[in-house]
């Protein structure tokens, strides 16, 4: 392993600490009783200083300003940053005064984790700080952090290289506090959604990640091998068919935050591993699902921002219900001037040719319509819009429309030019479902590698009888991008997939 000059120096300091009898990695228990943000928000000077005479906190050293026999430093914990004041006579009372120079001034580096005990005070410049009376090294950092400078409310030399940010997220979180805020909001978003569903009586369940049949979506799966059973298995592309089995079994409303895997391309809105919320509710339809989705997203926006208006790039997106509703054929006609509602596969291929949309030869009518919509229309819907009433060929798991022949009761929610949710009145006719699966097999034989497999056990479940049901899948990562104003899906994933590094021996 090739070490930089700074890394070599830190290893030398590590040895010197050990020679001084200072353990650079002591036992983990340290009696923290407060944090940076609590102190800064609650300390009121003379008014309540008695409550801040014995504080104990821990964190990383982010800067040091030496003043001879004393120094100021900035300590960063999980909540934020606070200034500390370290004086030689306080941390070395009655001992070798040179220990202050040997230890604090020469062996402690930016990035080291320390614990401090002391009392809170206000400096002459009005900054709330901790006067340190006892200082303990908790972890010696052997790799220097990139230095990010802040002055007069401005940040300088911020680390923006995606290769560094995504590959070394642990360092990115340390030096860029706003990155941590994104992931705090992500957790709050998920908790808000979970609370919304729990308050309405939904039941959270777990379904298999390893599946013998990769069903519930049109996608290329990852394949693995089950050694004990000696059969191929797939990482799930969706949990839909298992949640529907729960509805067959008698649950009225089930949901799952599902980690799904699709062996597909990567870009700013796609990652092969992603999180989706799916729920299924008996005796409901896609109209009820649209209204419920509006209520949920309103609640999420208010929980994270205090308002239904959310800044996303240059746009202010309103999550105030109701959202616009538009059929997929009308959406395409508005954006191209072409009515494709009556066209067969050959006619759709001519439209693709006319619009200069490249399509694979093996795909069928449903995929052709999807390609046309994606190329011409999807990006135009900035404000939340339900695209409804899809052709039956596009939706193998969806109930046929009650009033419109050839269509199904399905919607996709478009926000900021991308799909955020996909929902159906679920198909519960086992004979119709078998025929749709068989059509998917024919598409697979034509070369469509995203066509669905036949899941015989799911068909057997439907034959026992599934009540009328509405279901939805909401992309958590894309929703989080919107709610935290991040331009890339990698910015809302702690550890996005990347090509493995090649380390030198």
Is 409 labeled as ligand-binding?
no
Three-class SS of residue 23?
A: coil
Cβ(365)–Cβ(344) below 8 Å? yes
Q: Which contacts of 50-54 are long-range, i.e. CB under 8 A and separated by 24 or more positions?
A: 52/119, 52/120, 53/119, 53/120, 54/117, 54/119
The kind and range of the H/E element at 173 are helix 169-175
Rg (CA), the chain: 29
The answer to whether the annotation marks 412 as part of a ligand binding site is: yes
Helix (H, G, I), strand (E, B) or coil at 97: coil
- How many angstroms separate the first and last alpha carbons of the chain? 5
Q: Which residues pair with 137 in a beta bridge?
A: 114
Which token pair is 317?
Answer: 């997106």
Task: Return d(Cα 190, Cα 173) in angstroms, integer.
Answer: 20
Q: And the tokens for 82? A: 């606070």
CA distances for 377 relative to 20, 136, 418, 421, 504, angstroms: 69, 60, 10, 16, 48
| Strands laid side by side in the 223-226 sheet | 210-211, 231-235, 223-226
Q: Which residues make up each annotated binding site?
A: 412, 419
Q: Which residues make up each annotated binding site for Mg(2+)?
A: 412, 419
């Amino acid at each position: 392993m090739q070490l930089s000059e700074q890394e070599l120096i830190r290893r030398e300091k590590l040895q010197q600490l050990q020679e001084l009898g200072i353990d650079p990695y002591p036992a983990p228990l340290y009696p923290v009783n407060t944090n940076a943000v609590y102190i800064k928000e609650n300390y009121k000077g003379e008014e309540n200083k008695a409550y801040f005479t014995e504080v104990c906190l821990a964190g990383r050293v982010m800067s040091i300003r030496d003043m001879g026999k004393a120094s100021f430093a900035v300590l960063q914990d999980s909540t934020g940053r606070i200034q500390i004041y370290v004086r030689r006579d306080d941390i070395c009372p009655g001992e070798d005064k040179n220990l202050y120079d040997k230890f604090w001034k020469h062996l402690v580096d930016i990035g080291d984790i320390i614990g401090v005990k002391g009392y809170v005070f206000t400096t002459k410049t009005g900054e709330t700080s901790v006067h340190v009376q006892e200082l303990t090294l908790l972890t010696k950092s052997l790799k220097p952090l990139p230095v990010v400078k802040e002055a007069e409310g401005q940040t300088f030399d911020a680390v923006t290289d995606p290769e560094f940010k995504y590959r070394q997220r642990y360092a990115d979180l340390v030096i860029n506090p706003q990155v941590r805020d994104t992931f705090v909001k992500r957790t709050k978003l998920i908790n808000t959604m979970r609370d919304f569903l729990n308050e309405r009586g939904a039941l959270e369940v777990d379904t298999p990640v390893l599946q013998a049949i990769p069903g519930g979506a049109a996608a290329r799966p990852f394949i693995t091998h089950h050694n004990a059973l000696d059969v191929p298995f797939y990482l799930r592309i969706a949990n839909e068919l298992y949640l529907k089995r729960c509805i067959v079994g008698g649950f009225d409303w089930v949901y799952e935050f599902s980690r799904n895997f699709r062996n597909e391309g990567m870009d700013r809105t796609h990652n092969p591993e992603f999180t989706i919320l799916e729920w299924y509710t008996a005796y409901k339809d896609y109209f009820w699902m649209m209204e419920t989705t509006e209520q949920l997203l309103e609640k999420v926006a208010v929980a994270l921002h205090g308002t239904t208006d959310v800044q996303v790039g240059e746009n202010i997106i309103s999550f105030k219900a109701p959202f616009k509703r538009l059929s997929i054929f009308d959406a395409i006609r508005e954006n191209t001037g072409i009515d494709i509602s009556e066209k067969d596969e050959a006619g759709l291929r001519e439209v693709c040719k006319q619009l200069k949309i490249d399509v694979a030869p093996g795909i069928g009518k449903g995929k052709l319509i999807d390609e046309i919509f994606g190329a011409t229309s999807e990006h135009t819907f900035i404000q939340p819009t339900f695209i409804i009433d899809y052709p039956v060929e596009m939706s193998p798991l969806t109930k046929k429309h009650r009033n419109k022949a050839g269509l199904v009761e399905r919607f996709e929610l478009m926000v900021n030019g991308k799909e955020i949710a996909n929902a159906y009145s679920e198909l519960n006719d086992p004979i119709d479902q078998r025929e749709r699966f068989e059509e998917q097999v024919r598409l697979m034989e034509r070369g469509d590698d995203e066509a669905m497999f036949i899941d015989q056990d799911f068909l057997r479940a439907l034959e026992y009888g599934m009540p009328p049901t509405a279901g939805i899948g909401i992309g958590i990562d894309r929703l989080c991008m919107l709610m935290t104003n991040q331009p890339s899906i990698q910015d809302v994933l702690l550890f996005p997939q990347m090509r493995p590094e090649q380390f030198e021996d």
